[in-house]
Amino acid sequence: MEKKITHDLHTEDIEHKVGEPIEIDYNKNNAKMIRPHDPKNKFILYILIFFTIITVITLYLRIYHFDNKYVKTFVGITCIQDFFNFF
């Protein structure tokens, strides 16, 4: 039998029409922790996943295809960027 929990969510600080569905985030371990959904969290997650994939691909290329002329050019460009990076 599934446990059913009902709570009132006060949405005075959320812009929406009465009766309109809203997205919420909640903690599965503590059902009392309910808050309005923040779309920028998903955006940040997608950015982190993108940079992780790019990092894995570049590491793979640098480790296993270091003899390729295009990989050598890529490594050279990234090393040159280190010389001109003043920040």
Q: How confident is the model at residue 87 (pLDDT cuts 50, 70, 90)?
A: low
Structure tokens at 1: 């039998």
| pTM (two decimals) | 0.60
Q: Do the Cβ atoms of 37 and 11 come closer than 8 Å?
A: no
Residue type, 30: N
pLDDT tens per residue, range 4-57: 666 666 666 667 777 778 787 877 887 777 777 888 888 999 999 999 999 999
| Residue 36 host element (H or E) | strand 34-36
Provide the residue count of the chain.
87
User: Between these two residues, 14 and 1, which has the higher pLDDT value?
Assistant: 14
Would you kindly state where each structural domain of the chain is located, as residue ranges? 38-83
At 44 the pLDDT is 95
- Average the pLDDT over 53-82 and give the result: 90
